[in-house]
Amino acid sequence: QEQVLIDCCTSYHMKDFLCDLLKNYSDPLVLAEGCRCLMVILTNPKIYREQGKQVVEDLGKLVPFLMFLGGGKYQEVYSYAVQQRGVEPPPLPQLDNELVCDAFCAIIDLFHFFSKDASGDELREMVANCLNNEERDQKLLRLLVVKNDDVRLGVMKCISQVSVKEIASEEMGMLIKCLSDTRNIEQGNTEDVLALVIGLLEKLVEAEGMEGAKFRKNYAEMAIAEAFLVLYQNARRETYDQEEEEEKLNLSCAIVSFLRACSRRSALRVNFKNPRIEEQFTEIMKWEEDFHRPYARDVALEQTWMGRSLDTLLKCLQEPNALHRSKKVVFRVLSRMADISEGQPEGMHGKRAAFSLQELAQRECRMWRKRAIEKYHHYLDEDELEDRDLEANTFIQRMESILHHLMSHEDRMEEREYHARMQKDLRWFDDVRDEGRRIENDIVEEQKKKKTSDKVTEVDLSDDDDSNEDDDLPGEQLLMRAVFQFEDFVETGSGQLFTVRPEQFTCDEQDLLVNDENGGRLPEKSSNKVNYKLNKAYTVCAFLRILHAIILVPPEEDCRTQMVAELMKRDIVAKLVALLETVPCLNCNAAAKFLRIMTLVVNIGFTGQSHKGLGLDVLSLLSNYVQRIADGMLFLLKLTKDKCLDLREQTLCAEI
C-alpha cells in the first residue's frame, strides 16, 4: 500500500539503508534487488519530491554504478556471482552468468528512470548530465555484445530516451555496428532490440543540430545499407504464429519508417539508387504478400524513395516476382504509381507514418479533383522532377501488359466477346457505307434525269407527321428530358418498397478484403494461407488514376500524345471495358472515372492534329457501355417520384 511505503521511507529511513547497501556491496544479488527496491521508492511522486535529491547525492549521482557495467568493479561482481575470489571474468560477448546479467539489468533500469522525461526536472537533468560526462552511452552500448536479451533490450530502452545531442560520433558507429553484427534475427528479443536501434538512427537522421548533420554526412550511407540488409533478412523469414509475426512486423515497420525519414532528405536519396537494392525491392514486396496475414499491418516499402521510380514499381508486376492481381500489395503499388504520375511530392500530406491500406482505399474512393492535381507539380523538388517523362513513357509502353496482368480469366473471356462484337459492328458499318454509296449513286442518277426532264418538280410543304423534334436536340438536353418524362410517368405509392436496385448500382466498397471462396467479408483473424482478394474496384481505380494523370498533367506533351494514342486502340479499350464490367458502377466512382478519361481522349482526339479520332468500332463499344449505365440510372429514377440521387450517382450522371 502507498501509505505503508511512505511510512517505511519516513519513519524507518528505508532509503538510507538502501543507499548504504548499494554503496558498500558488490554482490550482484544485492545490487539487483537493492536497485529495484530503490526504484519502487522513487516511483512514488511524494517520496521522489521529498527524498529524491538526497538519494541522488548519497549515491554520487549514480556515477559509481557505471563501474559495474564492464568497468573496474566488473571482476568483483563476477567473483561474488561464482563465489570464487580473484577469478578472471569472461569478456562481455561470452558473459552468460544470470546473476551478473540481472544486476546489469537493474542498474540499467535505474539509469533509464533518470533518463526519461528529464526535460523540466532539474534533478533528472543533473543526473543525466553527470552520467553523460562519464560516457554513459558508450559504456551502455558496449553491453550490446552480451548474449542476454534482457540486458540488450534494457540498454536500447535507456539510450532511446537520451537526447540526440548527447550521442557522440563513436556511439553512432556503434549503433550501426550493432546492425551489421546481427546474424540471427529470430533469436530471443533481437527484433525488439534492432527496432529500438533503428528508431534511434531515425532520430539522428531527423535531428536539426550539429549531431544530425554529422550523422547524415558521415554515417547515413552505411546506416541505410545495413538497415536495408536487415529488412531483407527479416522479410524473407516465415512466421508461425501471430505473436511472432507482430515481432517481425515491428522491425520491418521501424526500418521502413527510418528509410522514409531518409527519403525526405534530398541529400540522402542518392543512397537508394543501387542495382542490388532495386532487385531486392521486388523480392521484399512479394514476400510481404506471401508471408503475412491479409489484415496484418502494411510494411509499405513502396512509400520510401525506393518506390519513387515507376520503373522499379513496374518490375513488381513482372515475373519472377509478379504480385498477385487480386491481393492488396498490387493495389498499394498501383496507388503509389498513381501518386507519382500525378506529381505528388514526398510527404505532401504531412504524414510521418506510411499510409495504411485503409487510408489508401479511402483516398481511392474519392472522385478526382482536377484543380488539386494540376497544382501538385508546383511543389516538386529537383529529384522528384528528374526523369518523369522517361518513366511515363516506360509505363505507356508496358500499359497493355499491365492490363493483361490485372485481368482474370473471366475478364479475358469478356474481352473476347467485345472483340467479336466490335467485328460485327465493323461489318455493319461497312454495310451502311455500301448502302450509303448506293443511295448516293441513285440520287446522282435521279438528279441527272431531272436536269434532262421538262417536268416541274412539286414540293410537298405539308407538315411531316413522322418528324421527331428531338432529333436536333443536344445529347445533354435529351437526357434531361428523358429523366423528367420518367418522373412524370411514376405513380405515387405504387408498391415501390419491393423494387430492387440494378445489380450494377450496388455499392459494396466497405468490404475491402473478400473471401475468395464464398465471396463474403474476410474474417480479421484469417491466416496468410487463406485465399482472399481485394475489392477489385480499388485496383481498377488506382490503374485508371495513372492514365488520368498522364493525360491531365503529363511531364511532356509527347507523353499525353502517346497515352491518347494508346487509349484509342481497340484492344486497350476492350480490356478496360471488360475490367469495368466486373466492377459495380458506383464503387469508388469507377464508371465515372473511366468516362472522365474517355471524354478527355475524345476531346483531344477531336482537336489534335496528329490524331484521327476514335474508330467507329471503339465508339460503338463505348456507346453501348454508356447506354447500359444510363438505362440503369433511369431505372433508379423510376423507383420513386421523390428519389434524390446521392453524390456518386450525381457524379456518374455528370460524366455520362
Q: State pLDDT tens for residues 5-35.
A: 777 777 667 778 888 888 888 899 999 999 9
Mean pLDDT of 53-59: 88
Contact 97, 104 (CB under 8 A): no
The structure's pTM equals 0.84
Contact 354, 300 (CB under 8 A): yes
pLDDT interval class at 278 (50, 70, 90): confident
User: Taken in order 160, 162, 167, 170, is the CA torsion positive or negative?
Assistant: negative
Is 49 a residue whose pLDDT tops 60? yes
Tell me what pLDDT residue 483 has.
61
Q: State pLDDT tens for residues 151-188.
A: 999 999 998 888 888 888 888 998 999 888 887 888 88
CA distance 101 to 36: 14
Grid cell in block for residue 319: 515475373
Domain boundary among 147, 162, 177: 162
pLDDT interval class at 336 (50, 70, 90): very high
Specify which residues 532 forms β-bridges with: 515
Per-residue H/E/C for 559-606: HHHHHHHHHCCHHHHHHHHHHHHCCCCCHHHHHHHHHHHHHHHHHHHH
Tell me what pLDDT residue 605 has.
60
Grid cell in block for residue 225: 545499407
CA distance 514 to 531: 9
CA distance 121 to 613: 74
CA distance 267 to 208: 14
Q: Is the pLDDT higher at 161 or at 509?
A: 161
What distances in angstroms separate CA 211 from CA 49, 115, 128, 133, one per listed residue? 34, 19, 18, 17
Q: How many domains does the chain contain in total? A: 2
CA distance 82 to 75: 11
CA distance 80 to 96: 15
Q: State pLDDT tens for residues 395-410.
A: 999 999 999 999 888 8
Domain boundary among 162, 177, 197: 162
Domain boundary among 145, 162, 179: 162
> Does residue 467 fall inside a structural domain?
no
Contact 615, 559 (CB under 8 A): no
> Does residue 595 fall inside a structural domain?
yes
pLDDT interval class at 490 (50, 70, 90): very low
If we measure between CA atoms, which residue out of 106, 177, 167, 172 comes closest to residue 136?
167
Query: Containing domain of residue 94, as a range?
Result: 1-162
> Does residue 411 fall inside a structural domain?
yes
Contact 406, 543 (CB under 8 A): yes
If we measure between CA atoms, which residue out of 311, 367, 357 comes closest to residue 522?
357
Contact 146, 181 (CB under 8 A): no
Q: Cell match 498499394: residue?
A: 332
> Does residue 365 fall inside a structural domain?
yes
If we measure between CA atoms, which residue out of 189, 187, 265, 188 comes closest to residue 223?
265
Q: Which residues contact 475 (CB under 8 A, 6 or more apart)?
A: none
CA distance 164 to 211: 7
Is 107 a residue whose pLDDT tops 70? yes
First-residue to last-residue Cα distance in the chain: 73
Tell me what pLDDT residue 523 has.
80
Q: Cell match 529495484: residue?
A: 36
CA distance 647 to 487: 19
CA distance 86 to 91: 15
Percentage, residues of the chain above pLDDT 90: 39
CA distance 84 to 394: 73
> Does residue 532 fall inside a structural domain?
yes
Backbone φ and ψ for 515, nearest 5 degrees, come out as: -70, 125
pLDDT interval class at 429 (50, 70, 90): confident
Contact 108, 154 (CB under 8 A): yes
Q: Is the pLDDT higher at 509 or at 327?
A: 327
> Does residue 596 fall inside a structural domain?
yes
User: Taken in order 547, 551, 556, 561, is the CA torsion positive or negative?
Assistant: positive
Is 312 a residue whose pLDDT tops 80? yes
Mean pLDDT of 610-635: 83
Tell me what pLDDT residue 484 has.
61
Query: Cβ atoms within 10 A of the Cβ of 16, count?
Result: 14
Tell me what pLDDT residue 625 has.
92
If we measure between CA atoms, which residue out of 239, 265, 282, 256 comes closest to residue 198?
256
> Does residue 65 fall inside a structural domain?
yes
CA distance 124 to 522: 50
Q: State pLDDT tens for residues 221-236.
A: 999 999 999 999 999 9
Tell me what pLDDT residue 473 has.
67
Q: Which residues contact 3 (CB under 8 A, 6 or more apart)?
A: none
Long-range (24+ apart) CB contacts under 8 A made by 168-174 are 168/137, 168/138, 169/214, 169/218, 170/138, 171/137, 171/138, 171/141, 172/204, 172/214, 172/215, 172/218, 172/219, 173/219, 174/138, 174/141, 174/142, 174/144
> Does residue 195 fall inside a structural domain?
no
Contact 115, 128 (CB under 8 A): yes
Is 383 a residue whose pLDDT tops 90? no
If we measure between CA atoms, which residue out of 127, 129, 130, 152 comes closest to residue 141?
152
pLDDT interval class at 349 (50, 70, 90): low
- Give me the helices (H) in 148-209, please: 149-160, 169-180, 190-206
Ordered DSSP codes for 313-325: HHGGGSTTSPPPT
